[in-house]
Structure 1
Amino acid sequence: MSTVTTLTELPRLPWELMDAIIDHLQSDLPTLGQCGMVSSAWLKRSRHHIFSTVQLWPWRIRDFLQLSASKKCTFSSSIQRVELDDSRVKPGVPCIQFMDALSLSPLSCLSQVEAIQIRSVDWTALTPTEQAKLRHRFAQFKMLKLLEFDDVTFHDLREVVNIMNSFPLLKHLSANVCFMKYTEHAVASASRLRIPRTIETLELGTDDGIPVVLTSLLAQSADPHVTRLNLRSLKAQHLPYLSTLVRRIGSHVRHLLLGMERTSFMNVDEGDYIRALKLSRLNQLRTLQIEGLKFAQKPSILEATLPDLISRLESPFLRCISTTFDLDALEDLKNFDWKNLQRVLKELYFFGLKNVEVHVRVLAGASTADATCERVESWIRNALKELDQNDALNITASLVS
């Protein structure tokens, strides 16, 4: 006698395990689509990953917004992040630029969005009236917490601050921007502006953005509200701003990323460099990341002073130090002062440091033929073996073109 097994009799996995499986597939869109056809429960979890980030490039934005605004649309509530980029065009395909898209499209279906990234947009092409209308449209994103500008042009910082003030819950600002005004004029204007006190994270990485936004931040007389600073493409000319930053709000910073533009520091005096950073003032620091370093035949000031720089840290809350190096040849690893670096890191480990991360970008080329990722990791692990023996060392090496 044959036995027929019904769907309700099939063994069921715990919901927590099913969620974990679907979460593991978050970057595999075809498989997530198949998961969504299994059941309504799987559909909801799969949609969370499929539609959590939508990229509204100019050639697809009209159809997407019309679909998401439809009463029959069932995925709009899953959208958490929107990315717009005017440079993502397709030859021969009708496109809608960023400004027109926000002006003509209903945004109520996206009111729950928490993050927006805007790239390759010229804000100066708008009249003051058009800018005001655009801010009004932006205000419909009532839940927005993260705003990113990448390669966006403004007249000065005033419009950036006006846009930020449209979002009462905004916590993170990424301002990789440039200004039409000369830097000196943009800085002078920024000194009279106030960044909203809801902002906790600032990410800057342009010649204009770093001095101008930091000037506005440091001009505020109330207690500092920014606790996480990500500063990339730092040049020697930014050292005075960095020095003032550390002196004024260093005791409030919890997480600091310094991405150095190595070539600009070639002629900087070591003493001036160390004094400008003055990491001893970061007495509440939890994590420190330093990028832009390089293993080279002749170390620059950035590599030569790294042990001394880190030794100035006095925060009892420090938990992680992360460094990122470029590497041309395996032989260049021998030119770095591993002994002093290990000594400094061991002292910090004794006082509470939990994790030391060393990330190496092995630059592809004839000179790196012997510098396989495995050999690089093994070499560094041996150079810092006392930290490795205490399970405090995490090394990753990756090949980049």
Structure 2
Amino acid sequence: MDTLSSDSLDLPQEIVDQVIDDVQDDPPTLKSCSLVSRIWLPRARTHLFREIKLLPNKEERDSDNVENFRARLQTLLAATSSSRILPALTDVTRVLTIDLSRLYSSTEVLNGLLSHFPFTNLTELSLRGSPDFPFQQTPLGCHLRKNPQLVSVKLTAMMFNNIIDFLELFTKMSSHTELRSLSLGYIYMNHRPEEMRDGLKQFNLSLPSLSRHRPRLGCLQLGAVWGMPDLLTEPLFTHSHSIFDLSSLHTLDIQSFGSLGRYSGLCDAIGRNITTLKLCFGKHNLNPSPDTWTSFKKLRRLQFLILHDQDREVITKFSQLISQALPLLPRLQHFAFGFYFYQTPNSYDFPEPFWNDLSTELDPILAELPAKNEWLKDVTVNVPPEYNPGEETLRTFFRHAYSLGLLNFCFDVLAYPLL
């Protein structure tokens, strides 16, 4: 198809932009728009390349084909740098996602990749590597400095040589005043605890010089941070001169195999401002003290995702937790819970026994909630697809809570985001 001249469609630029904006979520149509004329190309290109995702295909994931993926990326970067088409990709790309979690030697590839990235206008950056090899913070630190407009940063499955390397990376973000959302999932430290303590003492002495214009976060997501997360929260979040300012934090999402008690210092420091709390824990961690819950005086929305290993004790502990915690949250309006089954079913081969056990303990507790939480509007049960007996059966199991008009059932897959 021949590209039409710019004179062939005598339309005002405002109308052209509106037409293209209306199909911004339809890549095939956007590609067609980019071929209409020169005045259609810039707007279409802006939408087409606003978000870039880099991940290996199935053939490139094994050790013999890593070089194929590396070569493909180098070709992409070379084309990006040499292209004369405007606007340049480095100007229009706002969201960059790199997922190398299933790539052999992913850390080596990621370290080399970040050193050559030309992007300078990113607002969202998501990196997922592999915890098998140490990650070099210098390439990422340089990339962060080149993108001062970052609003959201997500780092998952990365190992650092030591705690100083880890913390030094975040000092590169201390001047990112636009940053509002930070997500850390499965961060590993190749460091003994006593060495971590010594390193923290040294680092904390330098904190006052970093705090002039700190990023003020609104959302914080923490997965498993191996290596004493209770110590890391101080320089990152709770120290008077911490790297990040949490005074405006409204959403806290903790997904960890560790106890919520390990984040008690964080909860005490910021709980009073939190309006949305999301928690993901296993049975051994469903025992935070009542003092933890009293920190969340303004909490409006609470969501639990429970890691279920087919042990009925999970249900008992969760029921006890709910009966203790919810009455301490006077402004709670929305409560949701679900279960993530990470072992092959054995105790519950069919959905009915699971829901019978769960509802026997939970239905009376849920039915009493309106009297204890006068602001409560709804309770949502996220139903695992492998344990879905049908809505009519669920209504029967939770008949007391459902009769109050309190209960909703959600059949969407509730994933474990940082797993």
CA distance in 2, matches of 1:116, 1:171: 12
The C-alpha deviation readout for 1:155-202, integer Å capped at 9, x for no partner, is: 213223223225332222222211111245435644754584523322
Task: State TM-score, norm by structure 1.
Answer: 0.72
Q: Which residue, out of 156, 175, 183, partners 1:174?
A: 183
- Unpaired stretches in structure 2, ≥5 consecutive residues: 1-8, 56-69, 342-347
Task: Tell me the residue number matched to 2:167.
Answer: 158
- Asked whether the equivalents of residues 338 and 414 of structure 2 are also in contact (C-alpha less than 8 Å), the reply is no
Task: Tell me the residue number matched to 2:276.
Answer: 255
Task: Tell me the residue number matched to 1:319.
Answer: 333
Does structure 1 residue 354 correspond to structure 2 residue 372?
no
The C-alpha deviation readout for 1:199-249, integer Å capped at 9, x for no partner, is: 3322221241743432434641378424322111233xx343233333333
Task: Tell me the residue number matched to 1:309.
Answer: 324
CA distance in 2, matches of 1:315, 1:17: 48
Task: Tell me the residue number matched to 2:256.
Answer: 233
Q: Which residue, out of 132, 153, 160, partners 1:147?
A: 153
Shift of 1:377: 3.0
Task: Tell me the residue number matched to 2:410.
Answer: 396
Does structure 1 residue 199 correspond to structure 2 residue 205?
no
Task: State TM-score, norm by structure 2.
Answer: 0.69
- Asked whether the equivalents of residues 289 and 322 of structure 1 are also in contact (C-alpha less than 8 Å), the reply is yes
* Distance change >3 Å, CA 355–CA 29, structure 1 → 2: farther
Task: Tell me the residue number matched to 2:85.
Answer: 72
- Asked whether the equivalents of residues 293 and 325 of structure 1 are also in contact (C-alpha less than 8 Å), the reply is yes
Give the SS at the match of 1:60: helix
Question: After the TM superposition, which residues 327-346 of structure 1 pair with which residues of structure 2 at under 5 Å, given as runs?
Answer: 328=348, 329-331=350-352, 332-336=354-358, 337-346=361-370
Does structure 1 residue 216 correspond to structure 2 residue 235?
yes
* Distance change >3 Å, CA 125–CA 98, structure 1 → 2: closer
* Distance change >3 Å, CA 387–CA 248, structure 1 → 2: same
Shift of 1:39: 8.3
Q: RMSD across aligned C-alpha pairs, in angstroms?
A: 4.2
Give the SS at the match of 1:160: helix
Q: Which residue, out of 49, 57, 64, partners 1:51?
A: 49
Shift of 1:82: 0.9
- Asked whether the equivalents of residues 279 and 304 of structure 2 are also in contact (C-alpha less than 8 Å), the reply is yes
The C-alpha deviation readout for 1:87-121, integer Å capped at 9, x for no partner, is: 56599xxx99233333334x2xx322111122226
CA distance in 1, matches of 2:378, 2:46: 32
Q: Which residue, out of 115, 119, 122, partners 1:103?
A: 115
Shift of 1:399: 6.9
Question: After the TM superposition, which residues 10-25 of structure 1 pair with which residues of structure 2 at under 5 Å, given as runs?
Answer: 22=23
Q: Structure 1 vs Structure 2: percent identity of aligned residues?
A: 20
CA distance in 2, matches of 1:391, 1:41: 55
Task: Tell me the residue number matched to 2:298.
Answer: 284
* Distance change >3 Å, CA 349–CA 48, structure 1 → 2: farther
Give the SS at the match of 2:217: coil
Task: Tell me the residue number matched to 2:64.
Answer: none
Shift of 1:259: 0.7
CA distance in 2, matches of 1:43, 1:169: 30
Which amino acid in 1 is paired with 2:261?
P
Aligned length, in residue pairs: 359
Shift of 1:30: 4.4
- Unpaired stretches in structure 1, ≥5 consecutive residues: 1-6, 364-370
Which stretch has the larger CA shift, 112-121 or 380-389? 380-389
- Asked whether the equivalents of residues 307 and 344 of structure 1 are also in contact (C-alpha less than 8 Å), the reply is no
Does structure 1 residue 244 correspond to structure 2 residue 242?
no
* Distance change >3 Å, CA 46–CA 104, structure 1 → 2: closer
Shift of 1:304: 2.8
The C-alpha deviation readout for 1:142-165, integer Å capped at 9, x for no partner, is: 211111111111121322322322
* Distance change >3 Å, CA 55–CA 399, structure 1 → 2: closer
CA distance in 2, matches of 1:358, 1:184: 43
- Asked whether the equivalents of residues 326 and 373 of structure 2 are also in contact (C-alpha less than 8 Å), the reply is no
